Structure 1
Amino acid sequence: MKKNNIYRAVTACTFASAVLFSMPSCTDGFHEANRPGTGASAEDLNRDNYMTSSFIVQMENEAFPEQENTYQMNQDLIGNYLSRYMTYANNGFAEKNFARLNAPNGWVRYPFKDSMPKTVSAFKEIARVTNGQGLNYAWALILRAQSFMRLTDMYGPIPIGADPNDGNAYSSQEDVYKSLIADLNKATEIISPLVAANPDLTVSAEHDKVYQGKFAKWLKYANSLKLRIAIRIRFVAPALAKQLGEQAVQDGVITSNEDNCTIAYIPNGQYKTSVEWGDSRACADLECYLAGYNDPRLAKFFKPTEEAGPRAIIGCRAAAKIGNKTTADKAYSAANINQNSEGVWLTASEMAFCRAEGALAGWSNMGGTAQSLYEEGVRLSFEQWGAGDATSYLADNTSTEADYVDPISEYGGNVSAVSNITIKWDDAATDDQKLERLATQKWIAMFPNGQEGWCEIRRTGYPKVFPLAQPTDYSIQVANRIPFDIDEATNNKDNYLKAVQLLNGADDYATKMWWQRR
Structure 2
Amino acid sequence: MKTNNIKKSLICFGLLALVGCTDNFDQVNSNPDGFTYEETTQDFNHINGPFKTMFDNVMVNVPGWKYQVANDLSANNWGGYTAAPGFDGANNLSYAISDNWNIWCWEAAYAQVMANFYKVERESKGKYDEFYALALIIKVQTLHKMADAWGPIVYSKFGTTDATIAYDSQEEVYGFMFKDLDFAVEELTKRIDAGEKSSFTNIDRSTYKGSYARWVIYANSLRLRLAMRIVKVSPALAKAEAEKAMSQKFGVMKFASDSFIVTKNVSQHPLNVASGEYNDSRMSADMESIMGGYDDPRMKVYFKESMQFPGQYKGIRTGGIMGDKTLHQEFSNFGKIINEDKQVVWLNAAEIYFLRAEGALRGWNMGGDAATLYKAGINASFDQLSTGGAADYIANNVKMAKDYIDPVASFNNGVAVNKVTVAWDETASNEVKLQKIITQKWIANFPDGYEAWSDHRRTGYPKLLPILNNQSAGLISTELGVRRMPFVSTEKDGNPGGVATGLAKLGGPDTGGTRTWWDVDAPNF
TM-score computed with the length of structure 2 as normaliser: 0.88
Q: Tell whether 2:75 aligns with 1:73.
A: no
Tell me the matched-pair count: 492
* Partner in structure 2 of residue 193 of structure 1: 190
Distance across 2 between alignment mates of 1:326 and 1:237:
48
In structure 2, C-alpha distance between the alignment counterparts of 1:142 and 1:6, rounded to whole Å: 30
Check whether the contact 2:470–2:478 (CA below 8 A) recurs between aligned residues. no
Post-superposition offset of 1:469:
2.4
Give the counterpart letter for 1:253 in structure 2.
V
Deviations 1:220-257 (A, max 9, x none): 11111100001111111111111110110122111111
Residue deviations 1:163-217 (CA, integer Å, cap 9, x gap): 8545621110000111111111111111012123338x43343332112222221
2:330 counterpart SS class: helix
Indicate the RMSD between aligned Cα atoms, in angstroms. Answer: 2.4
Alpha-carbon distance, 1:322 to partner: 2.5
Determine which of 203, 209, 223 is the counterpart of 1:207. Answer: 203
Can you list the C-alpha shifts for 1:317-358, whole angstroms capped at 9, x where unaligned? 011232233332213433442255211221110000011111
The answer on 1:349 being equivalent to 2:346 is: no
In structure 1, the partner of 2:515 is 512
Does the C-alpha gap of structure 1 residues 512 and 22 become closer, same or farther in structure 2, counting only changes over 3 Å?
farther
Matches within 5 A, 1:23-422: 47=42, 49-67=44-62, 68-89=64-85, 91=86, 93-133=87-127, 134-162=129-157, 165=162, 168-198=165-195, 201-210=197-206, 211-251=208-248, 252-264=251-263, 265-308=266-309, 312-336=312-336, 337-338=338-339, 340-364=341-365, 366-409=366-409, 413-422=412-421
Q: Residue 479 of structure 1 corresponds to which residue in structure 2?
A: 482
SS, match of residue 97 in structure 2: coil
The one-letter code matched in structure 1 to 2:288 is E
In the alignment, the residues of structure 2 paired with residue 171 and residue 432 of structure 1 have an alpha-carbon distance, to the nearest angstrom, of 33
Contact 1:112–1:151, Cα closer than 8 Å, also in 2: yes
Opposite residue 247 of structure 2, the aligned amino acid is Q
CA offset digits 1:468-487 (Å, max 9, x no partner): 02133332342111111135
Matched, 1:500 2:500: no
Amino acid at match of 1:484: F
Unaligned runs of 5+ in 2: 24-40
Task: Assess if the C-alpha contact under 8 Å between 1:109 and 1:485 holds in 2.
Answer: yes
Aligned partner of 2:130: which letter? L
- Letter matched to residue 188 of structure 1: V
Structure 2 counterpart of 1:85, one-letter code: Y
1:450 and 2:453 aligned: no
Q: Which residue type is aligned with residue 514 of structure 1?
A: W
**Secondary structure in 2 matching 1:99:** helix
The 3 A distance-change label for structure 1 pair 7 and 81 is farther
Q: Is contact 2:297-2:389 (8 Å) kept? A: no
Instruction: State the distance in 2 between where 1:20 and 1:485 align.
Output: 20
Q: How far 1:119 sits from its partner (Å)?
A: 2.1
Deviations 1:267-322 (A, max 9, x none): 2201212123211111100111001111111111111111136x511100011232
TM-score normalised by length of structure 1: 0.89
CA contact (8 A) 2:60 2:105 kept: no
**C-alpha separation in 2, matches of 1:130 and 1:437:** 44
Asked if the contact 1:281–1:335 (Cα under 8 Å) also holds between the matched residues in 2, the reply is no
Asked whether the 8 Å contact 2:13–2:111 carries over to 1, the reply is no
Amino acid paired to 1:333: N
Q: Aligned AA for 1:414?
A: N
2:235 partner amino acid:
P
2:83 and 2:9 map into 1 onto residues whose CA distance is 24
Report the residue type matching 1:432 in the other structure. E
Whole-angstrom distance in 2 between the partners of 1:472 and 1:397: 39
Report the Cα distance in structure 2 between the residues aligned to 1:223 and 1:47, rounded to whole angstroms: 32
Q: SS where residue 282 of structure 2 aligns?
A: strand
Please state whether the residue corresponding to 2:412 is helix, strand or coil. coil
User: Structure 2: how far apart are the matches of 1:313 and 1:6?
Assistant: 32
Alpha carbons 2:300, 2:335 under 8 Å: kept: no
1:381–1:114 Cα change, 3 Å: closer
Name the CA distance, whole Å, in 2 between partners of 1:19 and 1:159.
Answer: 14
Native 8 Å contact 2:313 2:331 kept in 1: no
Describe the shift of the 1:66–1:491 C-alpha distance in structure 2 as closer, same or farther (beyond 3 A): closer
8 Å CA contact retained: 1:154, 1:482: yes
Q: Equivalents in 2 of 1:398, 1:161: separation in Å?
A: 50
TM-aligned CA distance change 1:424 to 1:21, over 3 Å: farther
SS in 1 for 2:92: coil
Indicate conservation of the 8 Å contact 1:11/1:114, yes or no.
no
